[in-house]
Amino acid sequence: MDWNIASMAARRAVTTSFENTGAHRQGLSQMSEFAGKTVLITGAAGGFGRLLAARFADAGANVVLGDIDDDALLAFAGTLGSRVAFRRCDVTREGDQADLVDLAMSRFGRLDIAINNAGGTSPMKGFLETTGEDLDWNFALNAKGVFHGMKHQIRAMIDNGGGSVLNVASVAGIAGAPKNTGYCAAKHAVVGMTKTAAVEFARANVRVNAICPYFSLTPLVTQSNLIERKAQLEAAAPMKRLAEPEEVVAAILAIVTPANSYMTGQAIAVDGGLSAF
């Protein structure tokens, strides 16, 4: 089953069960805090980015979307209404990142929330088989891609009087990742940059946090050879399953909500209990 259809079905089931509860009303209240905010998302045409963009748009936020997949981005942005701006963004190119922030400022006049979601992983191989080129590829996309975005996003937020940056790292950013040295090293770098920036810009009212998910049923898993290892990956987590994308998105929303104004410099694991060992 297509992952997006599956997650939508799961979301409908959860909404039905909670719609008359305080938990559901609290969720609606949380989302209303994003109305009128300007939210920038990289990697917005798929995975967590796509789900986040839809949730923010539904909440009345202005959404600024970047992705390297032009066609998918164009098709998706057209479903989000009038409060959307988008452009092609290769996060490995600092100029593209600067242009995406400039688009937010020129279209909506401010930037309140930035979610550095774009990323990926190279083929898995052992430590001794990993090459310098493998490290370069992972750092260019997963570490420098976040670094360049943060530079321009934080500058814009300082001018606004503050904001919130959320970097999508990985549980591999806070633990080891056998057979995935380059990815693990780059995601550790993301966590390190998150903590450093949080300390530097706390007085400027810019919060910087990271989320560290375990494998989730996004296309990164379902449309790669990782799906062949699904049972093995599930067995590694105490919950004995992989995350639904909506579960990770819910955690991201909780981190960046304006009500969560005293959290900064944190790397939050969403991993079914894996990091609790």
Longest dimension (CA), the chain: 55
Question: How many Å apart are CA 65 and CA 54, to the nearest integer?
Answer: 11
Question: How many Å apart are CA 165 and CA 265, to the nearest integer?
Answer: 10
Question: How many Å apart are CA 166 and CA 191, to the nearest integer?
Answer: 11
Q: Write the burial class of residue 277 (CB in 10 Å: 0-12 exposed, 13-18 middle, 19+ buried).
A: exposed
In three-state secondary structure terms, 183 is helix
Q: What residues are labeled active site?
A: 183
Q: Cα–chain-centroid distance for residue 170? A: 10
Question: How many Å apart are CA 42 and CA 49, to the nearest integer?
Answer: 7
DSSP classification of residue 209? E
- Residue 54 CA: distances (Å) to CA of 44, 46, 49, 65, 117: 10, 11, 9, 11, 14
Contact call for residues 57 and 63 (beta carbons, < 8 A): yes
Q: Which segments of the chain are extended strands (E)?
A: 38-42, 62-67, 84-88, 113-116, 163-168, 206-213, 267-270
